[in-house]
Structure 1
Amino acid sequence: MSNPPILAGVVGWPVTYSLSPVIHSTWAHRAGINGYYVPVAVPPSEDEFRQIINGLRRVRFAGVNVTKPHKENALRLADEASEIAKKAGAANMLTFQKDHIYADNSDVVGFANAVKEQSTNPGIHGLVLGAGGAARGIILALQSLGLKKITITNRTREKAEALADEFSLDVVDWDRRSNNLDTADILVNTTSLGMTGQPSLEIDLNTLKPKSIVADIVYSPLETPLLKAASSQHTIDGLSMLMHQAVPGFKQWFGGTGIVDAALKQTLLTEIKRRETA
């Protein structure tokens, strides 16, 4: 009797945009693993989230990735959580054990490994735009990379100050965000500015240090106005972080090694183009 297929997926609302099923399916095919990774739409209700997660456990899912708006719900639901998930205040991975749900956050290591692809010495000063949930994971990633100084700026200064107090950061006013670029080794946009359907991010990169890393964590569009303006620098797009953050889940649930390479990225680019023309 053959073994049943391994089941995993991604939970969110909306979730049809997610490229995670393409990533995991590609890796499973490469490794010859009998498994399926599917999108699961869960409306933005914590009660519905809990009900659907329990349903997935009953049908023997190994685990799920969690995306907006349920990352904080995932952390609250879990019986146990990694230290990094606790510090981030959110979980993007839930692993289902017999009587246990374990929460983790691979966004942190995902972004850190995307940076390592660009430089083995990322410098000492990071400038983070935004103070929402995504910013927390980026800050933890930068700290794990050894950056000694992290400056945060946000359109609402109070939110930036709250995050700065928690993580021992510097704060700069939003209207002075272009004034710290001459010392920044890494610039990361975690806001929605520049995303498809959102206003552009207005920032003057003329004083940016040569060979600095510029990152935007979204992949719609893949080349945001910020990345286009920083084309002479080392840049990190949203796909890089997405691919790297998927590696721990694939290992945990499918028992395989996810390889981030040019072929995988090309597969994702092809899928993005297909969706744009569908």
Structure 2
Amino acid sequence: MNLPESVKIIEVGPRDGLQNEKNVISTKMKRQFIDGLMESGLHDIEISSFVSPKWVPQMGDSKELARYYAGIQGTIFLAPNKKGIETALEMNCKKLAVFVGVSDSFNKRNINKTTSESMKELEPLIRTLKNEGVFVRACISTSFYCPYEGIIHPERTVQLCKQFEQFGVDELSVADTIGMATPKESYRLFSEIQDSTENILLTAHFHDTRKMALSNIFACLQAGINRFDASAGGIGGCPFAKGATGNVATEDVVYMLERMGIRTGVNLPKLKETIQLIAPHLSNTITSGYYTVEA
């Protein structure tokens, strides 16, 4: 088997996990959640998103969170448009994420632009961020399947990745947004992206809608991928993709990798304590394997 000695976990629970949460989570609780994640050994964390509270009320305290975390190495803030990027720079954020969907249909329902329109808008913004010394992470949605268009041909995703590389982004987070990818498809797509790009960090982002996320992660390991997004407790979803459940649970990913002899640097008991802290405030019950089974 082709297995790395260590893997980097990018924790997306505070942003991608909570953004679609029905219950209002207080800023104080979010901070306790984030602090617990850091104490468990997760240092690359999506903290919040600079979006309009009108559309994503849960992210309404992004500036307040930025005051606490923007200066901490590894913390990531999502800034999907010019206004969000301007706010992020004002808050001295050093690591930003932008996003776009491979599917035009998904992209239009998400931000009312086609994929090409989004990329045209993002190019000068990304180049400005790089001139400011900001680390840029590009999150690519519907990389395998779209809830409106169906299967996405791998070449479409590869070409979008290459375009982001030309813009100068530092990292690509390639997502199975609705959780339909199979291990075979995951191995193929990530292998093709690696063959088509150079000098860029490549991260896999899987949702566990059909309980194939861990299998897909294993397939990606075989393709040489050693960076994965995950969400503590498996919290999350997608408001623009009906039926899409949460991200793969961080604790399950860590448990699988550590049992395989792959280092993650994450303390599982501490991570479980942190999930126990946030769980009573969530609208859904935590059902991940490690959380519900392990002592």
By relative contact order (CA 8 Å, sep 6+), the higher-ranking structure is 2
